[in-house]
Copies of this chain bind each other. A is one copy, B any other.
Amino acid sequence: MTAPSKVLSALDEGLPASLDRLFELLRIPSISTDPAYADACQKAAEWMAKDLQSIGFEASVRPTKGRPMVVAHYLGPDASAPHILFYGHYDVQPVDPLSLWENDPFDPKVRDADKDRKIITGRGSADDKGQLMTFVEACRAYKTAEGKLPLKVTILLEGEEESGSPSLKPFLEANAKELTADFALVCDTGMWDVETPAISVGLRGLVGEEITIKAADRDLHSGLYGGAAANPIHILTKVLADLRDANGRVTVPGFYDGVEETPPDVLKMWEGLSGRPEHFLTDIGLSVPSGEKGRSILELTWARPTAEVNGISGGYTGEGFKTVIPAQAFAKVSFRLVYKQDPEKIRAAFRAFVKERVPADCTVEFAPHGGSPAIQLPYDSPLLNAAREALDAEWPKKAVMIAMGGSIPIVGDFQKLLGMDSLLVGFGLPDDRVHSPNEKYELSSFHKGQRSWARILAALADAHAAGKLSGR
């Protein structure tokens, strides 16, 4: 079964009604970070639960210490069907400065944009209300046209994604059994460009350490002691300078253990991607790629591990000058990790690397930060293949597999707490101005996004039927 044409037709015909529903949701100012909007968050959660109930989900608003979760289940008639967990968030970013908005952020509109494009304006249109509704509308169309969904579906909608998700992890832990599915679908990412859908298959991990080098037991006068007493800034700068060799490779022993080269066909796919890599550095006032030599910008930021100093401080840093040799100096160092690097092994190796460079009469103290491994959906995963075929059928250009340099905490939490892989598909565009004034979502993203999810649901059911998609 590829996506039934009845379902796709229902989506095409239902677009005006789906826009009305989205606009109702967008009109609720569910800003999670500002307590003044707590009621609006509650209202948005209730709106979502009610809408999901109307499609046949068993849906409820679940209180947390902060904004509520919405959990909805459609377990369907077929006990053997695969079970997916869909994640999105109904909360939005604040809107200030309001004066920069061309339209009221909470009075959404469809407007004409350049080149025959139409856009939906308003806070949350892209992040994440518009995105999450693409999935909900696909479910609705399935229910309307086919009377049922082709899979078991649980939907989890969070109300604190824009304020650090403080309740998410406790909620997952407390409801692990209820929320665990075969895998997760996450709709909070973007396309490569307006014609090219993308699946985010890799997310770099992170391990951080704060290191403090201590030398003399007090600050010293550099005239009296300079040349004889250890300067912790010197020790620190030596450690940090040693972290990378002349080719930009990280020198911590064992750092690259388990790191695999990106498959040649994927690298080739990335080489073919245009529009962004050319501007990646010039947009921020740079032009020379840093880091490992001989690798492209995309490979460097998506598929290679790094060592970065995120902060450093020592001695006198105010106006003017003070000829001091400080008692201590510190730096905050983080490593972005790729698949199969072990955060704790790297933390230990880094600590040994530092200790080796600290003179016998000085000390170093470490404070850990973070420690999450990279996440990688294998390039030959059946889940990935099903999604690619579905997207290829919908969009003018073939789906590209991309990666993300940073982490999406929810994906790590699903992996760690619920043991689930995540498929990251979304229809945002780089110019959607999420978190900024004049946020928008392409009307084509909203419409074809719905059709994409219908096709993905069908493709996953097909793969399951063909025995290609095993559960957990």
Interface residues of A (CB under 8 A from B): 204, 206, 208, 210, 215-218, 220-231, 233-234, 236-238, 240-244, 280-281, 284-292, 297, 300-301, 304-306, 308-317, 320-326, 329-332, 334, 336, 359-362, 369-370, 404-407
List chain B residues, Cβ under 8 A from A218: 284-285
List chain B residues, Cβ under 8 A from A243: 234
Q: Are A226 and B288 in contact (CB under 8 A)?
A: no
Please judge, given known A-B contacts A312-B329, A321-B332, A323-B206, whether A404 and B223 are in contact too, CB under 8 Å: yes
List chain B residues, Cβ under 8 A from A223: 204, 206, 336, 404-407
Q: How far is the CB of A231 from chain B (nearest CB, A)?
A: 6
List chain B residues, Cβ under 8 A from A226: 291, 301, 306, 308, 336, 405
CB-nearest residue of chain B to A215: B286
Say which residue of B225, B236, B406 sits within 8 Å of A301 (CB atoms).
Answer: B225
Q: Are A405 and B227 in contact (CB under 8 A)?
A: yes
* Identical chains in the assembly: 2
List chain B residues, Cβ under 8 A from A311: 233, 314-317, 322, 324, 326
Q: How far is the CB of A252 from chain B (nearest CB, A)?
A: 15
List chain B residues, Cβ under 8 A from A287: 360-361
CB-nearest residue of chain B to A284: B216
Q: Are A234 and B244 in contact (CB under 8 A)?
A: yes
Please judge, given known A-B contacts A223-B406, A224-B301, A323-B208, whether A231 and B285 are in contact too, CB under 8 Å: no
Q: Are A231 and B370 in contact (CB under 8 A)?
A: no
CB-nearest residue of chain B to A362: B286
Q: Are B369 and A320 in contact (CB under 8 A)?
A: yes
24 A-B residue pairings within 8 Å (CB atoms): A216-B286, A218-B284, A222-B306, A226-B301, A226-B336, A227-B290, A227-B336, A229-B281, A229-B284, A229-B286, A230-B290, A233-B311, A234-B308, A241-B241, A287-B361, A288-B360, A290-B359, A309-B314, A310-B315, A312-B314, A313-B313, A316-B332, A320-B369, A323-B334
